[in-house]
Structure 1
Amino acid sequence: MAERPSIILINCDDLGYGDLGCYGAKDIRTPHLDRMAAEGTRFTDFSVTSALCTPSRAALMTGKYPGRVGLATDVLRPDATNGLAGSETTLAEVLKTAGYATGCIGKWHLGFVRGLRPMDQGFESYYGVLHNLDHWETKHFEPDGGMPLLRGDAVEKRPAVPAEMTGLYTAEALKFIEANRARPFFLYLSHAMPHLPFDASAKFKGRSPRGLYGDVVEELDDSTGQILGQLRALGLAERTLVIFTSDNGPERNTPGSAGPLRGTKHTVYEGGLRVPCIAWWPGRVPAGRVCDEFVSTLDLLPTFAGLAKSEPMRRNLDGFDISPLLLGKKEAHSPRRTLYSLYGYAKNRFESMREGHWKLHLGAAPKLYDLRADLGETTDLAAQRPEVVQRLLKLADETRDDLAGGRGRDQPKEQDPSK
């Protein structure tokens, strides 16, 4: 490759598989993301490892299963003193080592104390809220005047206001791109929306038939349009890879949609794990392509490292370099064959093991689904295909042993079939 691309990774919070027009939404207008998909590649089988904020982000940032970095379960709360260990190699560190300018804007959720924050993990600049904006988080900061919005380690504003977040983050992203236009850069734009308590700026309120939730998604669409527009205006479009995705599926009991998928966030059904993903790089990523290959957020770090001609500092990576697939190389396929998923929070433990189109929900009575014929996970084939069940149980045991050194065989619970 003659030139290393700048990379922008846009990660939304709790955005569902069915929330964008290009993924089938009829009551939310997303013209900029629809254009992005038309000018790039839309992935239909892009999965996270866990339908929960902290574990999902740990996998994205390291290319490793969250269990391999000690963040397999639970969400980091404001008083947490643990987080993503400084000894782990992050996306930002891989690209910074390759000479990239690195910036993080938005939600972090991988450590709050000094030593675990974005600028301790390879980012040269940070602007955002380290935490969620839900009441569990905000009440912790009430005695100090509310949730802090940070620039670096300094408080820029209290309290952070949900309705302002998308606009503030977008403006900051545009400044970062302008400031680093002359060199390769990596921008991680980690939106606060549409996580509860979702809210939109006045300009977007009342616009969507899906109510406030739809307004929020339409503002995210506008944000992406502004970023792509600036890349075009600055002559950077042909030198910049943009990935748009989400950390997990939609929160239950909200207007968020997983489209044809069963389940939501807090499950290991496809509705919690399979998320939108659009890749855009004019002239390099094929335009108008719909890619049905099986890929994961785990694959982003080694892929970005390959494109940047950087060593990913391989230490038990669980991701693969999918750049040949991303760039549309002839006969390129995803090397991914399996994915282990764990949700462990509030005394619940749900697990699944996937191999190709087969997916096994683990538990006292394992359930087997053929995602190729049954994307909605409605028909249990465990009784008809016992040999597949046994093969996936063995894979799950091997994965657990690999991640935990043989420790812990907690019996997973069966998921609520109503979800």
Structure 2
Amino acid sequence: MLMGGLAVPSLAQDYTNIVLINLDDVGFGDFSCNGAYGYKTPNIDNLASQGVRFTHFLACQPISGASRAGLLTGCYPNRIGFSGAPGPDSDYGIHPEEMTMGELLKQKGYSTAIFGKWHLGDAREFLPLQNGFDEYYGLPYSNDMWPYHPQQGEVFNFPDLPTIEGNKVIGYNTDQTRFTTDYTVRAVNFIRKNRKKPFFLYLAHSMPHVPLAVSDKFKGKSEQGLFGDVMMEIDWSVGEVLKTLEEQGLMENTLVVLTSDNGPWTNYGNHAGSAGGLREAKATTFDGGNRIPCIMYWKGHTKPGTICNKLASNIDLFPTFAEITGAPLPEKKIDGVSILSLIHGEDNANPRESFVYYLNKNDLEAVTDGEFKLVYSHKYVTYGAYEPGNDGQPGKLTVAEIEKPELYDLRRDPGERYNVISQYPERVIKLNKIADKMRKELGDDLTRKKGTERRKPGARIISNND
């Protein structure tokens, strides 16, 4: 069978299953194949050795809720009126008129499930079963949004943390040492149950977001303490999923994607991961916040051990899955582009030519063409002014400021340390044109050049291209 001009394995099942594993706060340097210390991730490393490892893969925003909204809709979160990380009793969530990845694939008869963290709103109308998923078990938002937060009563006043199955709360403040195993067992059972029909499995681990928790299977096993133990258990989970696909004879018609929602929360010190030498961390639009690990494996399609340094984003998975499955895209404009050519390792493929770094409700803080990055004047949270926290306690943060635009040559300076704006005026002109185009379409609260009026949460930006 040919799909999108590409050969798809001719099996009894003439379709491609999709397994999307999305980790929480895993930085660019947190797999051993990317240089992690004190623990090994052999299953993840093996996945990378057999598939494609992306080295310039960006979260659409460097914060959990917004990143997941973009991932599941193929849109910059500000386009669909989604920002930040909605907590308990949030008054906004994923808008019912937006097509999610689950709804996209159900058009082609896929069974769909999410096990893990949702974070697209906790009201019933925003939960997975109302937005394209047949099964759901997990947390509606981050696992630290509970009464045991280290800053409870000082900064936060969180209620009990619900665990949800389907649309029903089945418990509160669940022992978090269970979650990685619980999610994995349900994922494995879902694969087995749907082995004879197309399925989309979204395994959205709560870990290694703080508070860290690990089962007895891995407690005390790493040289890097609890964080390393947690990463080893996540690696075990990936291995269980891959083993199940192999045992069920599904590996040849299944695409596996492993990524993260944003960079590490380095404020938590030894309970946080590594940005791998990139600047800053989550909640900032320096690449320590946006650049995330991504590995894809599709037997017979990915070339073993491929390294892809082309620009790509998690919003690109939505249209990529659409092209693979033949599912029609929504009528409304999306921002993602299919990166199927990169998965196949096609020479000279470059589907994403630019990326804009929005944060908060609608602040355009930077723009890149994949080689250079132009950072605009803005204030940001910095992690480097104080010592980080330790053993689950957060460290102090402070606010810094980029007072005038700076340009970084990412080819030579991925850590964004050397401003070369005076040396490449032609690149500044090029990047400014890209940013100005997006400002006209999506607006920009930083420059007050709003393309639209300020909108209510969940309201889509209407552009001339819609």
TM-score normalised to the size of structure 2?
A: 0.83
Q: Which whole-Å CA distance do the structure 1 matches of 2:32 and 2:445 have between them?
A: 44
| Structure 1 residue 84, shift from structure 2 partner | 1.1
Report what 1:374 is aligned to.
Answer: 413
| Structure 1 residue 325, shift from structure 2 partner | 2.0
| Sequence identity (%) | 41
Change beyond 3 A, Cα 1:145–1:382: closer
Q: Which whole-Å CA distance do the structure 2 matches of 1:332 and 1:265 have between them?
A: 31
Q: Which whole-Å CA distance do the structure 2 matches of 1:144 and 1:381 have between them?
A: 45
Find runs of 4+ consecutive structure 1 residues off by over 6 angstroms.
137-140, 142-145
Among 265, 274, 295, the residue aligned to 1:257: 274
Report what 1:109 is aligned to.
Answer: 119
User: 5 Å matches for 1:389-400?
Assistant: 389-400=428-439
Partner SS, residue 44 of structure 1: strand
User: 5 Å matches for 1:126-145?
Assistant: 126-135=136-145
| Structure 1 residue 298, shift from structure 2 partner | 1.2
User: 5 Å matches for 1:180-195?
Assistant: 180-195=194-209
Q: Which whole-Å CA distance do the structure 1 matches of 2:321 and 2:336 have between them?
A: 11
2:168 maps to a residue whose letter is: A
User: 5 Å matches for 1:268-283?
Assistant: 268-283=285-300
Report what 1:94 is aligned to.
Answer: 104
Bigger shift: residues 79-88 or 251-260 = 251-260
User: 5 Å matches for 1:18-417?
Assistant: 18-71=29-82, 73-135=83-145, 146-253=160-267, 254=269, 255-329=272-346, 331=347, 333-344=349-360, 351-363=365-377, 364-404=403-443, 409-410=447-448
Report what 2:455 is aligned to.
Answer: none
| Structure 1 residue 40, shift from structure 2 partner | 1.1
Bigger shift: residues 387-396 or 1-10 = 387-396
Contact preservation (8 Å) 2:364, 2:445: no
Partner SS, residue 282 of structure 2: coil
| Structure 1 residue 229, shift from structure 2 partner | 0.4
Partner SS, residue 276 of structure 1: strand
| Structure 1 residue 226, shift from structure 2 partner | 0.5
TM-score normalised to the size of structure 1?
A: 0.92
1:64 maps to a residue whose letter is: C
Q: Which whole-Å CA distance do the structure 2 matches of 1:280 and 1:396 have between them?
A: 33
Partner SS, residue 241 of structure 2: helix
| Structure 1 residue 118, shift from structure 2 partner | 0.7
Contact preservation (8 Å) 2:57, 2:313: yes
5+ unaligned residues in a row in structure 2: which ranges? 3-7, 9-13, 378-402, 450-466
The count of residues paired between Structure 1 and Structure 2 equals 405
Contact preservation (8 Å) 1:268, 1:341: yes
Contact preservation (8 Å) 1:14, 1:194: yes
Q: Which whole-Å CA distance do the structure 1 matches of 2:34 and 2:448 have between them?
A: 36
Contact preservation (8 Å) 1:19, 1:28: no
| Structure 1 residue 408, shift from structure 2 partner | 6.8
5+ unaligned residues in a row in structure 1: which ranges? 412-419
2:63 maps to a residue whose letter is: L
2:288 maps to a residue whose letter is: G
| Structure 1 residue 386, shift from structure 2 partner | 3.0
Q: Which whole-Å CA distance do the structure 1 matches of 2:101 and 2:145 have between them?
A: 30
Contact preservation (8 Å) 2:147, 2:160: no
| Structure 1 residue 143, shift from structure 2 partner | 11
| Structure 1 residue 54, shift from structure 2 partner | 1.1
Change beyond 3 A, Cα 1:389–1:332: closer
Q: Which whole-Å CA distance do the structure 1 matches of 2:33 and 2:21 have between them?
A: 17
Over residues 32-87 of structure 1, what are the superposed CA-to-partner deviations in whole Å (9 max), with x where a residue is unaligned? 0011111111111111111101111111011111111101x322111212111010
